[in-house]
């Protein structure tokens, strides 16, 4: 079993294609406790969770131990959205600490390249049964200014999709708002590589049959769940709007 299998199993057991992004704000000293309470309340309605600097900076890995430990115990895959983008020695140090803390997968930026960049990270992940997901097309308004740049006659995101395939990463991050990009990326990946789509809800993307038919496997939802009056009911509604996994 590895990250891909674990995410599929969690998705099927919980009948959910949703990875909840723990975009917790408010007093820094209360964020990890709030995140843990949220995950406890919505367990059964989500395929996995994702955290980034909202929690990692104020909590640190030691402070995140109760949250990660709960997810590990409940077999909820945990993604660290650090958009890894450095030289290999630094990258290996970062992922070593994250994997040792119980994180199941990290998100990395393919721009840094493979040699002395991400090749060692992907190899280490495979040794440990963990995952690496590559950032192919983001969901904010300015994403096209970078990921859509034309390089050698085609947009950069297509090259990043090929890197996802050729480096045998576990999947690609592609905006839920860009169905054409999802379709293009899907055509370039291996069948067992995931597409995870952020940008649902507050940013304008939809969790519906259309995004799944375009090629998405999972959607990532943050503020629309985190800030909801009833996060569990909100997740159930999102789950009902998509085909079952």
173, burial (CB in 10 Å: exposed 0-12, middle 13-18, buried 19+): buried
**Which one of 65, 83, 126, 206 is the catalytic residue?**
83
Tokens of 181: 């990009």
Calpha distance 60→1 (Å, rounded): 28
Classify burial at 30, counting beta carbons within 10 Å of its beta carbon; exposed 0-12, middle 13-18, buried 19 or more. exposed
Q: Which of 87, 10, 92, 96 minimizes the C-alpha distance to 61?
A: 96
Establish whether 83 is a catalytic residue: yes
Indicate the SS3 state at residue 206.
coil
| Torsion angles phi and psi, residue 116, rounded to 5 | 55, 25
Q: Sign of dihedral through CA atoms 94, 96, 97, 99?
A: positive
Catalytic residue positions, numbered: 83
């Amino acid at each position: 079993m590895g990250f891909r299998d674990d995410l599929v199993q969690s998705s099927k057991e919980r009948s959910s294609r949703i990875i909840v992004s723990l975009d917790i704000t408010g007093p820094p000293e209360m964020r990890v406790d709030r995140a843990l309470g949220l995950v406890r309340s919505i367990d059964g309605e989500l395929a996995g969770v994702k955290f980034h600097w909202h929690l990692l900076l104020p909590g640190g890995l030691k402070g995140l131990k109760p949250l990660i430990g709960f997810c590990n115990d409940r077999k909820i895959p945990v993604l660290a959205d650090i958009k890894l983008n450095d030289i290999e020695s630094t990258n290996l140090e970062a992922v070593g600490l994250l994997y040792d803390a119980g994180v199941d997968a990290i998100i990395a930026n393919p721009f840094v390249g493979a040699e002395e960049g991400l090749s060692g990270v992907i190899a280490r992940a495979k040794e440990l049964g963990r995952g690496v997901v590559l950032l192919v097309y983001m969901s904010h308004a300015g994403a096209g200014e970078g990921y859509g740049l034309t390089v050698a006659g085609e947009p950069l995101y297509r090259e990043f999709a090929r890197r996802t395939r050729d480096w045998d990463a576990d999947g690609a991050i592609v905006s839920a708002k860009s169905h054409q990009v999802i379709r293009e990326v899907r055509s370039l990946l291996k069948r067992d590589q995931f597409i995870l789509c952020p940008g649902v809800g507050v940013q304008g993307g939809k969790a519906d049959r259309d995004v799944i038919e375009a090629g998405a496997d999972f959607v990532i939802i943050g503020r629309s769940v985190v800030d909801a009056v009833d996060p569990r009911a909100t997740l159930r509604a999102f789950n009902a709007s998509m085909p079952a996994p």
